[in-house]
């Protein structure tokens, strides 16, 4: 018996479509093998405005989401007929004005079926939960300062792991490197993963990722000892087989190190020559400058302490190629399946060339080490620690050559040039801070003491060992400085900042040489939220009143160097009536505090002390001013 079915009339259908268009959440319907857009509502069009999309394939409609797993999910639902859901996935969407909008979405993608049960297309429904995700991030950031990630026992082991792993990676000519270590997403202690990068005297660099069986103090201790054995042998120039043989002998004596796996590679950044051995460990992944990925063949080496067979294979990296070493935790993820290696290659390749999440300031190696982990573990978690170590061949940055006139006004431009050169090398912010201060002090001395006829020369280069060697040379005879009567702290400050300082006076000038190693910090990850960015440094010095319209409560922003220190000193003494009125000075916004600025602050402090009026200096911990003030011993709060 056939039951009557009420078919909506045209007017009712139009009303129904209008109602769907007003739904307060994202809805998009795709049809056919190419998943062409069949319909979407106003909420969807608001998220991705300005797109002529109806009837177009999903790869055109959502081209900016290719590489972010959303498009793949739609195709997977169409292929399998099984729904897929996600919670608070981060997405980057291109906007008509060229900007990128970041949003978080909680979504469900379901099959759209014909009456006969065949899959006609897919339907996606999502809620924009960006505000909720931002609130969660802020709450987690604030809570992280008050809570411990694990129970006390795990904290101790995790801290041990931090101490046993390298604090950073060397910055080397022609090579960019990055590393990430993600703790296991389980109620277990930190494991035995480790990574290392050892520059050698012959210009090659040794890259290591290893994994000791088990977790806890025993595994971490064995890891630290194995790392030390390999590091010592590699630093002395031992070839791969000899270094692994030494580690193998150690693993044969120490039960906790037995069956540890290692991938060890030697790379010449100049020629791209590569030698490697996989001692029971997954083979490296090579990603080209276009994002094409290939796994290197396994060498068939045995785990440490199980046989001592360490064959070595050769390969070559082209300019722009990226080498990725990793631990098996990235492959052995829950729900990863048999295609985990293929998935790793695709996601890492997309991250390397910027096809995944948009991070304009990040290098390819940083994107691979951070985004690959985030994109791969966010769907199914991870039961084991994950370690990634990436190295990419890049162009060698030429030596820095500056010739400065004997004028303090030239110091600021020189500092900017030095900063740009260090940024091109890939130097981390702490090293940029140190070298800008150290060379700024030396250049200030050279300008003040040299004759004005010849320029002051600044030369800097990065050695194969990852050490900046820089010289500051004046070519004239010594003269008594006419400015900055309170001086003498510059050389002492420089000596505290850099690894070594050597000053060699001569009949035709003085040569000051500094040496300082460059390192980029590696990351021990507990999550994926971006660290907050601080304010952009001020290009010019400025003195402004703090809230309250009180000219004795001021803030100083920008550089306090030889060119601006006298002006700051004069302004502060004027506001404090020559030091007779109590004053508060906030130096948190000072981007560069040279010895001339330190001298000015000492003079102001002396005036206030003589007049028995309080002087309060404020500088946030970690700020450029705070670091220098702590070195020279000026009292500061907080």
Q: Looking at the predicted structure, is the pLDDT value of residue 116 above 70? A: yes
Answer positive or negative: Cα dihedral of 324, 328, 332, 338.
Answer: positive
Q: What pLDDT sits at residue 335?
A: 58
Q: Looking at the predicted structure, is the pLDDT value of residue 481 above 60? A: no
pLDDT in tens, 88-103: 999 999 999 999 999 9
Q: What pLDDT sits at residue 5?
A: 41
Q: What pLDDT sits at residue 517?
A: 94
The pLDDT-based confidence of 159 (bands split at 50, 70, 90) is low
Q: Closest Cα to residue 578, out of 555, 608, 550?
A: 608
Contact 110, 122 (CB under 8 A): yes
Phi/psi for 564 (5° steps) reads -120, -15
Q: Give, as one character, the DSSP assignment of residue 288.
A: -
User: Helix, strand, coil shares of the chain as percentages rounded to 5?
Assistant: 35, 30, 40
Q: Looking at the predicted structure, is the pLDDT value of residue 76 above 80? A: yes
Query: How many distinct helices (H) and strands (E) make up the chain?
Result: 16, 28
The burial of 538, by beta-carbon neighbours within 10 Å (0-12 exposed, 13-18 middle, 19 or more buried), is given as: middle
CA dihedral 425, 431, 434, 437 (to 10 degrees): 30
The pLDDT-based confidence of 606 (bands split at 50, 70, 90) is confident
SS3 labels along 413-454: HHHHHHHHHHHHHCCCHHHHHHHHHHHHHHHHHHHHHCCCCC
CA dihedral 592, 628, 580, 481 (to 10 degrees): -70
Task: Write the CA distances from 243 to 51, 196, 202, 262, 464, integer angstroms.
Answer: 58, 14, 16, 11, 21
- Which range (330-339, 367-376, 587-596) has the least confidence? 330-339
Domain with CATH 3.30.750.24 in the chain: 537-632
pLDDT in tens, 403-425: 998 888 888 899 999 999 999 99
Helix segments in 450-556, DSSP class H: 490-497
Q: What percent of the chain stands above pLDDT 90?
A: 50
Q: Supply the CATH classification number for the domain 400-521.
A: 3.30.565.10
Contact 463, 606 (CB under 8 A): no
Which class does domain 10-135 fall in?
Answer: alpha beta
CATH of 537-632, one of 3.30.750.24, 3.40.50.2300, 3.40.50.740, 3.30.1010.10: 3.30.750.24
The pLDDT-based confidence of 2 (bands split at 50, 70, 90) is very low
The residue-averaged pLDDT of 458-483 equals 80
Q: What pLDDT sits at residue 547?
A: 84
Phi/psi for 623 (5° steps) reads -70, 155
Q: For domain 149-393, is the CATH number 3.60.40.10? A: yes
Mean pLDDT in the chain? 85
- Which range (77-91, 107-121, 185-199) has the least confidence? 185-199
Residues in the chain: 638
pLDDT in tens, 499-535: 899 988 876 778 999 999 999 988 766 544 433 333 4
Phi/psi for 582 (5° steps) reads -55, 145
With a CB cutoff of 8 Å and minimum separation 6, the contacts of 545 are: 551, 553, 554, 555
**Alpha carbon distance 87, 209 (integer Å):** 32
Q: What pLDDT sits at residue 454?
A: 76
Q: Looking at the predicted structure, is the pLDDT value of residue 328 above 50? A: yes
Contact 349, 292 (CB under 8 A): yes
Q: Looking at the predicted structure, is the pLDDT value of residue 549 above 80? A: no
Between residues 591 and 244, the one the model is more confident about: 244
The residue-averaged pLDDT of 21-36 equals 91
């Amino acid at each position: 018996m056939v039951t009557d079915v009420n078919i909506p009339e045209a007017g009712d259908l139009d009303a129904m479509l209008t109602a769907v268009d007003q739904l307060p959440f994202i809805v998009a319907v795709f049809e056919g093998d190419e998943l062409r857009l069949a319909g979407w509502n106003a909420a969807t069009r608001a998220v991705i405005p300005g797109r002529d999309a109806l009837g177009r394939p999903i790869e055109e409609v959502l081209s900016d989401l290719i590489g972010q797993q959303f498009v793949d999910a739609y195709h997977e639902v169409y292929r399998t007929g099984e729904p897929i859901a996600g919670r608070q996935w981060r997405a980057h969407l291109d906007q008509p004005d060229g900007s990128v909008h970041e949003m978080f979405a909680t979504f469900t993608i379901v099959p759209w079926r014909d009456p006969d049960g065949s899959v006609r297309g897919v339907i996606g429904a999502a809620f924009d939960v960006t505000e909720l995700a931002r609130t969660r991030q802020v709450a987690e950031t604030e809570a992280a300062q008050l809570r411990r990630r694990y129970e006390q026992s795990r904290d101790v082991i995790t801290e041990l792991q931090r101490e046993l792993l390298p604090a950073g990676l060397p910055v080397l000519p022609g090579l960019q490197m990055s590393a990430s270590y993600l703790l296991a997403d389980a109620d277990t202690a930190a494991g035995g993963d480790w990574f290392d990068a050892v520059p050698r005297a012959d210009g090659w660099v040794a890259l290591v990722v290893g994994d000791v069986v088990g977790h806890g103090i025993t595994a971490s201790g064995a890891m630290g000892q194995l790392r030390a054995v390999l590091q010592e042998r590699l630093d002395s120039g031992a070839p791969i087989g000899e270094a692994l043989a030494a580690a193998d002998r150690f693993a044969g004596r120490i039960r906790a190190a037995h069956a540890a796996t290692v991938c060890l590679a030697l790379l010449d950044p100049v020629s791209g020559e590569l030698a490697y051995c996989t001692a029971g460990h997954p083979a490296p992944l090579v990603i080209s400058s276009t994002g094409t990925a290939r796994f290197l063949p396994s060498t068939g080496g045995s785990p440490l302490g199980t046989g001592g067979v360490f064959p070595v294979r050769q390969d070559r990296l082209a300019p722009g190629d990226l080498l990725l070493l990793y631990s098996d935790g990235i492959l052995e993820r829950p729900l990863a399946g048999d295609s985990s290696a293929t998935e790793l290659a695709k996601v890492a390749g997309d991250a390397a060339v910027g096809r995944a999440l948009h991070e304009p300031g990040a290098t390819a190696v940083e994107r691979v080490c951070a985004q690959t982990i985030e994109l791969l573990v966010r769907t199914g978690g991870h039961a084991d620690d994950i370690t990634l170590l990436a190295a990419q061949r890049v162009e060698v940055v030429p030596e820095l050559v500056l010739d400065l006139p004997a004028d303090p006004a030239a110091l600021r431009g020189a500092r900017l040039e030095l900063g740009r050169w260090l940024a091109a090398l890939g130097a981390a912010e702490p090293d940029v801070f140190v070298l800008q201060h150290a060379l700024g002090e030396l250049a200030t001395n050279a300008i003040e003491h040299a004759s004005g006829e010849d320029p002051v020369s600044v030369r800097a280069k990065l050695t194969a060992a990852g050490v900046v060697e820089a010289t500051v040379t004046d070519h004239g005879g010594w003269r008594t400085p006419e400015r900055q009567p309170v001086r003498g702290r510059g050389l002492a400050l420089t000596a505290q900042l850099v690894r070594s300082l050597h000053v060699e006076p001569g009949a035709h000038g003085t040569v000051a040489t500094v040496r300082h190693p460059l390192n980029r910090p590696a990351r021990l990850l507990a999550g994926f939220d971006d660290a907050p960015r601080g304010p952009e440094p001020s290009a010019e010095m400025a003195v402004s009143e703090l809230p309250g319209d009180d000219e004795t409560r001021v803030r100083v922003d920008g550089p306090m160097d030889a060119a601006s220190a006298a002006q700051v000193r004069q302004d502060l003494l004027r506001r404090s009536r020559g030091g007779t009125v109590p004053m508060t000075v906030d130096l948190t916004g000072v981007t560069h505090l040279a010895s001339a600025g330190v001298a000015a602050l000492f003079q102001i402090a002396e005036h206030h002390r003589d007049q028995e009026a309080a002087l309060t200096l404020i500088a946030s911990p970690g700020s450029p001013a705070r670091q220098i003030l702590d070195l020279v011993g000026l009292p500061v709060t907080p």
